[in-house]
Amino acid sequence: MKKIIAGVDEAGRGSLIGPVYAAAVILKKNINKKSLKDSKKISKQKREVLDKYIKKNSIWSVGSASVKEIERLNILNATLLAMKRAIRKLKKKPNLTLIDGNKTPHMPYYNLRYIVKGDQKIAEISAASIIAKVSRDKVIKNLSKKFSGYFWDKNYGYGTKKHILAIKKLGVTEYHRKKFRPIHNILTKK
């Protein structure tokens, strides 16, 4: 029996806004693994090209956890929930699932292993990091059209100077994670 290996990674965990995303990827035999790198180490344009390439040459799925779930569960547990959703949505059940980080979601009938800095070591995890990032970036880019003053099309909700200044000037939106320190601090000062 051929071993089916899935890689899993998240995107948006450190952002101040929006859902956290996770992707699960099982690479097909013909894919060029050398071209796959951690999504943070490649340009936006290259990520988008690789996203299409990976999707064509793999079995993949995406899961997310909403801002409300992040607020209720905390970011770690919401990330694990997004990962669980992505793994469950795969069309094939993997024999082994390798997860970037130092924790795995609770999934008793799955063989899960975490790998610290896995997105830099394992092609399946690198592929998942690219799909998760591109998927989340598209959602945040669309939100930025509705909330143009926050520069989400450039900062994707991360705590840049411009974003923090915009929050102070324009206020906190329903998409901001209110329990995250910068947002919480802004809200408690008001």
In order along its 190 residues, the chain shows pLDDT tens digits of 579 999 999 999 999 999 999 999 999 999 999 889 878 889 999 999 999 999 999 999 999 999 999 999 999 999 999 999 999 999 999 999 999 999 999 999 999 999 999 999 999 999 999 999 999 999 999 999 999 999 999 999 999 999 999 999 999 999 999 999 999 998 988 6
Ordered structural domains, the chain, with CATH? 5-147 (3.30.420.10)
Q: Using the CB atoms, write b or e for 49-67: b if 16+ within 10 Å.
A: ebbebbbebbbbbbbbbeb
Answering whether pTM is above 0.75, one says yes
**DSSP-H helix ranges across the chain:** 44-56, 67-73, 75-89, 123-146, 152-155, 161-170, 181-189
Residue 90 backbone phi and psi in degrees, to 5: -60, 140
CB 84 within 8 A of CB 105: yes
3-state SS class at 181: helix
